[in-house]
A and B are shown apart, each in its own frame.
Chain A
């Protein structure tokens, strides 16, 4: 049983799930796609639950959860790209002309997922969660100015990739 030190008051974990699961899911759908978002959300909450009693600064639990979700999303995309490379190589060997059917939005979200982790999180927070730059900085662990730069850099890259 994990005992809490008396100076830190942590709310019951269930209240975090009730308050933030929906928005974290939205963030993860935008970050990694709907197929794996729920599983990634489970991983996020399980990791948070594991670390929770040792949390020293409970002043911004929401930002803390987003940080974990962002790491899980990055891990997931890294694993998937490794896996996809293998799958693609196998598929290419079997049928050289096979190409995916993609809509314009699929291509856009694929490009979002291909962004560097901080840019991806910043872009998703800005346009999917509709957050101010100061809040984005708080959630991804950087200054307001750096958050603005990450969004701008992400957009620039997306524009190049999607309109190409």
Chain B
């Protein structure tokens, strides 16, 4: 290696490390201003663990419990909504505030616009019917299916609810089996019990 090559290899960059946080902040600000921030996400802590929350310019599109792998959730958003996915905590501030208030018992309903981009077909009607079930009450799978216009589709309703991309805010925890008990929950039955307890619903 010649002296010149050695001098080149002592890169000037070592003295000028990238400030990754500053870059990220500038990038998401400019991306948002240019209308290029299609999916913004952040992690929000809650009594049920760290929630991965994603929003689009249309509204809240995804809430994922810690059991779901973050990489997989983001890939799904990239494939089904837009690959322009950036970490951008300030875009999820409203969601964070409303969730904080809900978990603290100060809020009984959410005023968040929703983006149903991850929901298709029959599940759309089921989840939209679910979104109308008020705080502190429960309905059965059959009732929510009937509300969605398909009274005999209780089982299909259960599947749709299990795939709810926006749990807590679209309150699938308020849907229970007619036979009693809690029924299943995408985030695990303990979380369903926690949410119903929080809302003052006590089911055996």
**What is A's interface to B at a CB cutoff of 8 Å?**
1-4, 9-15, 17, 21-22, 25-26, 29-30, 33-34, 37-38, 41-42, 45-46, 49-50, 52-53, 105, 108-109, 112, 123, 127-128, 130, 155, 158-159, 162-163
B residues near A46, Cβ cutoff 8 Å? 27, 30-31, 34, 36
Q: How large is the interface on B (under 10, 10 to 19, 20 to 34, 35 or more residues)?
A: 35 or more
In the complex, the answer to whether A52 meets B84 with C-beta atoms within 8 Å is yes
In the complex, the answer to whether B85 meets A12 with C-beta atoms within 8 Å is yes
A residues near B34, Cβ cutoff 8 Å? 46, 50
Contact code string B42-60 (vs A, CB < 8 Å = 1, else 0): 0000000000000011100
A residues near B74, Cβ cutoff 8 Å? 12, 14-15
Q: A1-B38, A15-B74, A17-B86 are in contact. Are A128 and B13 (CB under 8 A)?
A: yes
Select which of A26, A52, A130, A158 is within 8 A of B83 by beta carbon: A52
In the complex, the answer to whether A155 meets B5 with C-beta atoms within 8 Å is yes
A contacts with B: majority SS: helix
B residues near A3, Cβ cutoff 8 Å? 82
Contact code string B130-173 (vs A, CB < 8 Å = 1, else 0): 00000000000000000000000000000000000000000000
Binds A, one of B14-22, B93-101, B104-112, B188-196: B14-22
Given pairs A1-B81, A4-B79, 6 additional interface contacts (CB within 8 A): A13-B84, A13-B86, A21-B18, A22-B20, A42-B27, A108-B7
